[in-house]
Structure 1
């Protein structure tokens, strides 16, 4: 009996050992990879490698939007239970303000539990040294370097290039709906306006992913795998920095816009809107004081006057109406009109007068453009009627968006019967289109409203014999080595107006600069130039009304000037408006002339010399800071040990980051 028990015990032990050995073999051989992966998870962390945002450069490779190294101090939310006491301690080491605290809490609300939340960015070298020397007092803080957007020309390109800012809740919803949220981390930057927004996916690049070995304290001790980030592409624009600066200087402190286009390509050479604002203010959230200043500024610097400001075109409208009349057969080259200084509607005694009560006598369509005969165009507006104008003036892009590569653009207003009936639906008299409406429309007044961009575009179409090249700011896309990966695909159409008819209008505009209303502007010009002055009323005065109550500068007429040159081979077409500048030839005209002289007459060597002080694009790769990625959370990966990697940093030139033009 005892022997049977002993045998049973032996068998039991043997079976147990066999099971254990079998399980051991299974774990070591069959299930090896699964267990190894789990083992790695227990001592590894996933980090996301941030791509370097692509630069934005002008047509001559001057850097307009750059990246610079910035120092920041951050903390993980899990370590921020006593954050207020940490703030108190930081105040003796760095310049820590109430606004910095506000930005911290805003970022905290958008962050995951293991996202580093920046307490203060743009630390000076002294502040970095202080925090490093007292790191024992702040064991949970991380001081690191990262790349940050920088706009060296501050306000010069705010309305074209725009700016980037921190990813908001609204941004995250849009990214999630487009399926691109995984390419961003919490507190990341994203294009908010202008080209930064329009070409976000091109400039952004793609996140990389690294798996690193960590010790029990979360410190990096090795690398498991590495999938580097793909840096963003560089945008080379059609804008010319030299001309952009020139236009801005010529406008000075006046409100207005300058838009210049290459008529043969549609490339925008100048895109100035004034007043403007420093785009650097918005990078990490604009301060309440700066925001209040912008909001209360009577000049409305946030308005993009070039693409979103709409104005009555005044007499700059006349060349396009004249071309439409020739196309429609309402006027011919042989038509003659007797200008007695005014025009009256049949059955009315009201006199629509010429500017200055000038009497021009018998004139044709060329003379009417050259001398800007209001009486001629009052009658032409009536004879064309709103229906013809509504069908033919869109040939020049009036009343519709140009399609420029910017996220926001105004449509302008080319009025129609339907528009007026809707606009004045509650007024039985006004909702009908009246003959007087067509009369005032003939001289670019009334309901007409267009953007400076639309007027420059219309001028470029006329200059290039009716070929319409869609305006664009992008010229080509470069990789970090400087190789061209994409050239902008031009879009063009040809309007149905005969070249012979367009030539008549161009002749009239060329004579404007010789003997007409723009003769002073065109005096001594060394190239052929065609243009048209425009003076747009801000306040419509009835005959015999007193002007005293409208004597303020805000009631002065707007000054317009459109032009192109050289006439035989146009290289530049332009529209300039100076708000409340008065007569077109006196305020806007000289700006046009100086820009044309600068663009067409200055030698290439002198142009390069004038830009030598500015940074040029060089195909080099800069550092890639690494931060925690939301991607891991979205995809269910374990980020409980995610960390920020502190990259090797090149010291920023010029000492403290506070010496830069970026507001602190």
Structure 2
């Protein structure tokens, strides 16, 4: 009896424990079932909604840029539509999936052969998952794991793998593989839900047809159109019009942050020079907007165009392309004639600009840059605004008007000695004709025959100088600021405000020597235009100020801006330029008449010493002023040459009709080696006036 009782007492606790565990398990299962039931009943709809939830994203698309027209409505810059094969990158697409698509696409599409970067080749190779896994196994442990033994981030792993491929493997792609790699690199460069062009030039009809038939097998690939800039008028003012970046170039690096902040994408094509850049915000238009709906699996469910976008607005220029072409041809032919005559051995080009003196509208801009060493000639119309030249005697009208305004001469008494200036230790300072030819000179005649000595005597008067031949002169220490203050009123030496980026100021020579003494001799040189340097657009603005009676007008190229209609034609005018007066020069009509008479006589006078008689007989009558400046050829490869070759620069300014100007011009042929080179300057000026009135009419 005692033994049974002991056995029974040992089994009872074990059975109790097992029953307790079973009860707890049952209880937990019941709680779990109850909780699942509760969630299903109370939150089932919510969870189902989350599973079926979608996300909406707005995707922007580019629109064609605005057109650029000349003053007569001729197209200078247009858009040419091209067939294109596109790729839109979905949110969930993998590298392997893009590689498969690229491989299939090469069966129907041939892309232009382009140089693949090493990184492009590595990306193409690693897009194959088997290749990627194999490379990872070859990497040292330190390039796969952290110091604590954790896996490196995927981005770091990929970086190490691609570096291994670039450094350790010499992949020699077949022609077929190279085509796949090129297409894949373009696909990979796209952002999620953005579209890139796989081929947008010379896409054949066969390629379009075959890809169209197999679009279901090519996820993301589409057939569309792209546009490129076209130039129906050829290279006319091409350097002024500027350029647009390619999709690959995208935004310029120097303005990347600013443009991204204003809604641009990195691969947007934008104007990167001159008019295309200056008016980028006008020409770019407004991007289209498409709302894309995606589900939780990042599959695109629906695309809805919310805003079709608007094409860029159009620019209407002040330039008549027919006249512009005539000016370019005349500049080219005269420079080539000078070149054949051996006058351009050290010349760095030739430049011309025509302007409406009453409004500031640019009528033509042309330039050639010549490489003296190679003889290569390139278009350089922009040299009109970004190159400076010592202009010579064309500044003399400003010198005379400055003297009249300061009161050292009066309209009724402009007679001064025409004696040459003799200073110690320097060559004689005189005019182009022999010293002593004339004893006295009026301002009108000084302009007609281009007297340097008369201008120097004006400077002596303005500087209250005491002058004795062969003795040092002493002038007011502010003589430079006085004379330059007069020139500044005409815009000489300072930016004009033309609506083109890249304009420069003039170059003003030093006013003191190494001993901090005022360079009085250089002040005399300044009086007849042989010291400071100015741009051609500054000189054109200056002669316009003389021609129109004293109003310094701001030069401009864009006359108006028009919207583009849905059909692509010009729509409403949204901007019309109004002439801008920058300042009015405070001379009287009597003072101006002194200068205008001298400039008229320089062309139409009877004095045998007149310098611009080559233009006599033009109808309508022309008033003008010639200029010659002494210079030296600067060789950048031999800057310390003690004996640089001497050259002369030849210039001309003028306006017509002389009594009611409609056109003012400035011409420059720098650094010629023969004195007869002024012939080409005058020939060009004559052609510019003749062609203008032939095209525009005399009325």
Shift of 1:369: 0.6
Verify the 8 A CA contact 2:251 2:269 in the aligned structure 1.
no
Instruction: Name which of 622, 633, 649 aligns with 1:558.
Output: 649
- CA deviation string 1:56-86 (max 9, x = no partner): 1111111111111123445567676687996
SS at match of 2:385: coil
Question: Do structure 1's residue 267 and structure 2's residue 361 form an aligned pair?
Answer: yes
Instruction: Name which of 461, 480, 483 aligns with 1:389.
Output: 483
Q: How does 1:595-606 map to 2 (within 5 A)?
A: 595-602=688-695
Aligned to 2:148: none
Aligned to 1:498: 588
- CA deviation string 1:317-371 (max 9, x = no partner): 111111111111233331323435x3323x5673123225373442201100110
Question: Do structure 1's residue 372 and structure 2's residue 450 form an aligned pair?
Answer: yes
Change (3 A) 1:233 1:337: same
Q: Of the two structures, which has the highest relative contact order with CA contacts closer than 8 Å and spacing of 6 or more?
A: 1
- Matches of 1:593 and 1:386, distance apart in 2: 35
Instruction: Name which of 414, 418, 422 aligns with 1:335.
Output: 414
SS at match of 1:513: helix
- Matches of 2:292 and 2:426, distance apart in 1: 88
Instruction: Name which of 572, 575, 579 aligns with 2:670.
Output: 579
Instruction: Name which of 418, 432, 439 aligns with 1:355.
Output: 432
Instruction: Name which of 530, 545, 566 aligns with 1:445.
Output: 530
- CA deviation string 1:193-213 (max 9, x = no partner): 111111111111121211256
Change (3 A) 1:59 1:549: same
- CA deviation string 1:169-225 (max 9, x = no partner): 86377354367442x334211111111111111111121211256899999886435
Question: Do structure 1's residue 538 and structure 2's residue 631 form an aligned pair?
Answer: yes
Q: How does 1:239-250 map to 2 (within 5 A)?
A: 239-250=319-330
Change (3 A) 1:40 1:106: closer
- Matches of 2:591 and 2:77, distance apart in 1: 44
Number of matched residues? 550
Verify the 8 A CA contact 1:558 1:583 in the aligned structure 2.
no
Compute the TM-score of the two structures, normalised by the length of structure 1: 0.71
Question: Do structure 1's residue 197 and structure 2's residue 277 form an aligned pair?
Answer: yes
Aligned to 1:9: none
- Matches of 2:255 and 2:426, distance apart in 1: 60
SS at match of 1:579: strand
Q: How does 1:177-216 map to 2 (within 5 A)?
A: 177=258, 180-182=261-263, 184-212=264-292
Aligned to 1:123: 202
Aligned to 1:649: none
Aligned to 2:137: none
Instruction: Name which of 483, 496, 513 aligns with 2:603.
Output: 513
- Matches of 2:273 and 2:252, distance apart in 1: 12
Question: Do structure 1's residue 468 and structure 2's residue 552 form an aligned pair?
Answer: yes
- Matches of 1:185 and 1:139, distance apart in 2: 26
- CA deviation string 1:621-656 (max 9, x = no partner): xxxxxxxxxxxxxxxxxxxxxxxxxxxxxxxxxxxx
Change (3 A) 1:88 1:229: closer
- Matches of 1:62 and 1:206, distance apart in 2: 25
Aligned to 1:401: 495
**Farther-moved stretch of structure 1 (360-369 vs 130-139):** 130-139
Instruction: Name which of 513, 516, 519 aligns with 1:434.
Output: 519
Structure 2: where are the runs of 5+ without partners? Answer: 1-31, 121-181, 336-348, 463-478, 566-570, 635-641
Aligned to 2:661: 570
Instruction: Name which of 69, 78, 85 aligns with 1:57.
Output: 69
- Matches of 1:505 and 1:350, distance apart in 2: 29
SS at match of 2:408: coil
Shift of 1:455: 0.4
- Matches of 2:262 and 2:306, distance apart in 1: 21
Aligned to 1:529: 622
Question: Do structure 1's residue 149 and structure 2's residue 229 form an aligned pair?
Answer: yes
Verify the 8 A CA contact 1:518 1:531 in the aligned structure 2.
no
RMSD: 4.4
Change (3 A) 1:338 1:148: same
Verify the 8 A CA contact 1:559 1:583 in the aligned structure 2.
no
Aligned to 2:401: 323
Structure 1: where are the runs of 5+ without partners? Answer: 1-11, 277-292, 422-427, 542-547, 608-664
SS at match of 1:323: helix
Aligned to 1:488: 577
Aligned to 1:588: 681
- Matches of 2:185 and 2:407, distance apart in 1: 64
Compute the TM-score of the two structures, normalised by the length of structure 2: 0.68
- Matches of 2:668 and 2:78, distance apart in 1: 30
- Matches of 1:117 and 1:147, distance apart in 2: 13
SS at match of 1:224: strand
Change (3 A) 1:602 1:54: closer
- Matches of 1:106 and 1:355, distance apart in 2: 68
- CA deviation string 1:451-496 (max 9, x = no partner): 1100000011111110111111111110114211111243212122
- Matches of 1:349 and 1:556, distance apart in 2: 19
Change (3 A) 1:87 1:173: farther
SS at match of 2:482: helix
Verify the 8 A CA contact 1:107 1:187 in the aligned structure 2.
no
Instruction: Name which of 90, 113, 119 aligns with 1:97.
Output: 113
SS at match of 1:232: coil
Verify the 8 A CA contact 2:351 2:381 in the aligned structure 1.
no
- Matches of 2:285 and 2:687, distance apart in 1: 40
Verify the 8 A CA contact 1:339 1:360 in the aligned structure 2.
yes
- CA deviation string 1:540-581 (max 9, x = no partner): 99xxxxxx9766xxx542221111111222111111112345
SS at match of 1:351: coil
Shift of 1:228: 1.8
Verify the 8 A CA contact 2:368 2:380 in the aligned structure 1.
no
Aligned to 1:637: none
